[in-house]
Structure 1
Amino acid sequence: MKEFPHTLKIATVWLVVGLVVFLGFRYFEHERQRSSFQVTRNGVIEIRRGPDGHYHWPGAINGLAVDFLIDTGATSTAMSQAMARQLSLPPLRSVQSHTAGGVVMGELVRADVVLQGGVRIERLAITALAGLDERPLLGMDVMGRLRWQQRDGVLSIHTEASP
């Protein structure tokens, strides 16, 4: 039986090492994300602040899985116009939005939003903005419906509506 050339052996070892490192990073990322979001036994959603300093809430817009960035400084929920087009959401009307970067024009659309932990908002009015990146912002139009508190890098959300 013929033996593999030395170079092929070395290349195979490096490919295996690379695969193990890649899978290790994927596992670490999966565990980090899983530990940053949990629902406690009493139904409270706990979201740990991410490495970027923000709170991320996994969910979906009209069935498309997204990772919402919680923005308590935003009056309304927002998404990119590209995502609104991808979801085939018809614009209802043009709107003006006051952002940290100034006043920008956008469109108002409606969509169903589902957030992990059992929060569902049907036909939510969402502002679609051209300059927004692909991560949608979850604003006070949603967060204001919930009872929540932030302490020690953990956002605790009670899913029943506030009185």
Structure 2
Amino acid sequence: MSHQDLPHTLKLLTVWLLIGLIIFLGFKTWEREREASRFKLAGEVIVLTRAGDGHFHWPGRVGAIEVDFLVDTGATATALPQALADRAGLKPLGAVQTHTAAGAARGFLARADVTLEGGVRADKLSVMVLPNLSAPLLGMDVLGRLHFSQKPGELRIEPQP
């Protein structure tokens, strides 16, 4: 390779790197918009659209920590992974044993301030903290306070009448 070939090769490499960067940033923007479109607020009605994983997700917070809750109408109580509980500074109140879809699980009870997009709050909510839980689950202890209806691909939530 001669000295004159190097600038031309460097230019081609730079052009391909820029094209790759533009494609990557475009994909990330599309992905962010798609995630944001799963949650809509229409007046007091919250509309969740089913995600690609087949579940409904509801963005919110546990204390000051941002969380993407998996809406689980089959769960009696809200449950959090231990790593999330640790980041949120939740303190154990007592041991708990429960049965999940994956079988028996041991963890602890804690109290958490849960805030969901759309203005839904549950202060000092008793939550289960489970070490091997893969995602935070929003259970009927919160959902039961709301009126919700489902149609294909959509979950509509509104305050109790």
Which stretches of structure 1, 4 residues or more, deviate above 6 A after TM superposition?
Answer: none
Residue 80 of structure 2 corresponds to residue 45 of structure 1: no
Q: Which amino acid aligns with 1:147?
A: H
Q: Residue 76 of structure 1 aligns to a residue in which SS?
A: coil
Residue 13 (structure 1) aligns with: 15
Q: Mark the runs of 5 or more structure 1 residues left unpaired by the alignment.
A: none
Residue 60 (structure 1) aligns with: 61
Q: Which amino acid aligns with 1:26?
A: K
Matches of 1:27 and 1:84, distance apart in 2: 30
Give the CA deviation at 1:113: 0.5
Q: 2:34 aligns with which of 12, 32, 35?
A: 32
Matches of 1:148 and 1:130, distance apart in 2: 30
Native 8 Å contact 2:64 2:88 kept in 1: no
Matches of 1:97 and 1:10, distance apart in 2: 59
CA RMSD of aligned residues (A): 1.5
Q: Residue 5 of structure 1 aligns to a residue in which SS?
A: helix
Q: Deviations over 1:3-38 (max 9, x none)?
A: 971111111111111111111111111211122110
Q: Which amino acid aligns with 1:124?
A: L
Residue 140 (structure 1) aligns with: 140
Matches of 2:5 and 2:157, distance apart in 1: 62
Q: Mark the runs of 5 or more structure 2 residues left unpaired by the alignment.
A: none
Q: Which amino acid aligns with 1:113?
A: V
Aligned length: 158
Please list, as runs of the form range in 1=range in 2, the aligned pairs for 1:9-158 lying within 5 A after superposition: 9-40=11-42, 42-133=43-134, 135-158=135-158
Native 8 Å contact 2:65 2:87 kept in 1: no
